[in-house]
């Protein structure tokens, strides 16, 4: 009996120790114009060591007290820097991951990130290659670099007027005017091309709007609205990214309920689906949209929200998430902008004026450009020439240095260095210079 109890206790202790181990859930690799980012998703905050080896060139990451998740996939990687990923469990409780390199890189400077939707704990390695090599590569790039394509969706149209405000201001007319303004601003910017999903007073089924953007090979999908709420006191602009779970506020839930019924008003009775894929593949792609694609959408939404804050009152000072049908594209980053509430009399009068519409349009275009210049799609002109503009961030109430660094994909130390800060304290109303990628020090 004693031996059996002892064995049971040992087994339970073994299970407890296993439960306490961290877990490496996944590895993601993203090429940027001047560096390659490798992100390790872990179940909890991780202890690690990073070093490089030669002959051949490789980067080694040792994770302490970490096991492999069944979801982890390694092998060859589609990257200009990382050729492949290997892994091995060592007897000393260390889980080792090896990055095989296609080219020499500078010594990596890893950092950890705390959970932020849709991600959990992360260890990040930025692999920079020699700047002279990058310069040569850019100069040798073909002159026919393509433009970034932005699909702009003016909500409602035709039989569906959208919200109706004071003096019979119709949402469908207001948002089409703003959408055309955004297109004008983007078309005059080097390296950008804007397409209007609808350019007249007609209706397009909700699911066909992002599908149209995919068919046009858009890099980004932007849906513009000016909706209503049951209370006339609600006002302010908002920006939304997709949530497949639940809306982040009561206002968002109300808007989703109304927007997603829009097909009934627009005269669309049939079920519209993404016919390019069978059911199993479509399900996988939609799951992916909640991962990398949603992360890009959130970043872009925050850039547009910051730009809107300079010209309009915000409904909330943060990005919201909700299950809008038009945001459910499997592979195109997508956001929905509520430019204001037509149900609010004073805001309806503003939205009816051409001057205010164009200020909103310019702000939206500026936000899209800022995000795209920080995250240029491969093969585009802006990826080749880089961002020549200095990014500045106006500190708002509730901002922290670490959150700002995460938003702009740089380290807090880099922001402190550029702004000659001695600590992490920032003040509301202060303007911070955000270093561009490759210029952090």
Q: Which residues of the chain have pLDDT under 70?
A: 1-20, 32-34, 70-76, 116-119, 130-144, 244-292, 330, 385-392, 429, 436-441
Domains detected in the chain: 2-139 (2.60.40.3500), 148-374 (3.40.630.40), 390-434 (3.10.350.10)
Strands 94-101, 82-89: parallel, antiparallel or unpaired by DSSP?
A: antiparallel
Separation of alpha carbons 50 and 96, rounded Å: 10
pTM of the entire structure?
A: 0.54
- pLDDT value at residue 72: 65
- pLDDT value at residue 308: 93
User: Hey, what are 10's tokens?
Assistant: 């040992």
DSSP for residue 290: I
Task: Note whether 84 and 75 are within 8 A (CB).
Answer: yes
- pLDDT value at residue 262: 54
Phi, psi of 373 (to 5 degrees): -70, -30
User: Hey, what are 298's tokens?
Assistant: 């959130």
Task: Note whether 132 and 197 are within 8 A (CB).
Answer: no
- pLDDT value at residue 144: 55
Measured in whole angstroms, how far is the alpha carbon of residue 399 from the centre of its chain? 19
């Amino acid at each position: 009996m004693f031996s059996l109890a002892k064995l049971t206790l040992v087994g339970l202790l073994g299970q407890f120790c296993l439960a306490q181990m961290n877990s490496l859930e996944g590895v993601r690799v993203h090429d940027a114009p001047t560096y390659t980012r490798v992100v390790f998703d872990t179940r909890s905050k991780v202890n690690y060591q990073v070093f490089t080896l030669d002959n051949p060139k490789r980067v080694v990451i040792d994770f302490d007290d970490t096991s492999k998740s069944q979801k982890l996939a390694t092998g060859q990687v589609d990257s200009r820097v990382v050729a492949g990923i290997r892994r091995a469990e060592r007897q000393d409780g260390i889980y080792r991951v090896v990055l095989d390199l296609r080219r020499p890189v500078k010594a990596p400077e890893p950092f950890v990130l705390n959970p932020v939707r849709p991600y959990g704990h992360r260890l990040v390695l930025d692999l920079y290659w020699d700047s002279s090599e990058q310069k040569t590569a850019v100069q040798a790039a073909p002159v026919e670099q393509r433009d970034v394509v932005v699909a702009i969706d003016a909500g409602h149209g035709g039989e569906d007027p959208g919200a109706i405000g004071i003096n019979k201001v119709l949402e469908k007319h207001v948002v089409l005017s703003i959408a055309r303004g955004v297109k004008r601003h983007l078309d005059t910017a080097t390296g950008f091309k804007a397409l209007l999903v609808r350019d007249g007073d007609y209706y397009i089924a909700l699911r066909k709007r992002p599908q149209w953007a995919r068919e046009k090979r858009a890099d980004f999908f932007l849906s513009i609205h000016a909706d209503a709420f049951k209370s006339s006191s609600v006002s302010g602009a908002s920006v939304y990214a997709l949530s497949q779970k639940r809306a982040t506020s009561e206002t968002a839930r109300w808007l989703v309920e109304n927007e997603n019924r829009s097909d009934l008003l627009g005269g669309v009775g049939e079920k519209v689906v993404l016919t390019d894929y069978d059911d199993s593949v479509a399900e996988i792609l939609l799951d992916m949209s909640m991962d990398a694609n949603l992360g890009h959408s959130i970043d872009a939404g925050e850039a547009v929200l910051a730009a809107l804050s300079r010209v309009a009152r915000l409904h909330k000072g943060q990005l919201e998430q909700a299950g809008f049908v038009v945001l459910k594209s499997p592979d195109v980053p997508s956001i929905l902008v509520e430019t204001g509430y037509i149900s609010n009399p004073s805001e309806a009068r503003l939205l009816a004026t051409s001057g205010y519409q164009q200020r909103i349009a310019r702000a939206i275009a500026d936000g899209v450009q800022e995000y795209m210049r920080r995250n240029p799609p491969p093969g585009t002109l802006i990826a080749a020439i880089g961002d020549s503009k200095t990014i500045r961030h106006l500190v708002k109430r509730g901002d922290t240095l670490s959150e700002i660094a995460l938003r702009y994909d740089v380290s807090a130390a880099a922001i402190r260095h550029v702004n000659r800060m001695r600590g992490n304290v920032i003040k509301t109303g202060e303007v911070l210079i955000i270093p561009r990628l490759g210029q952090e020090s």
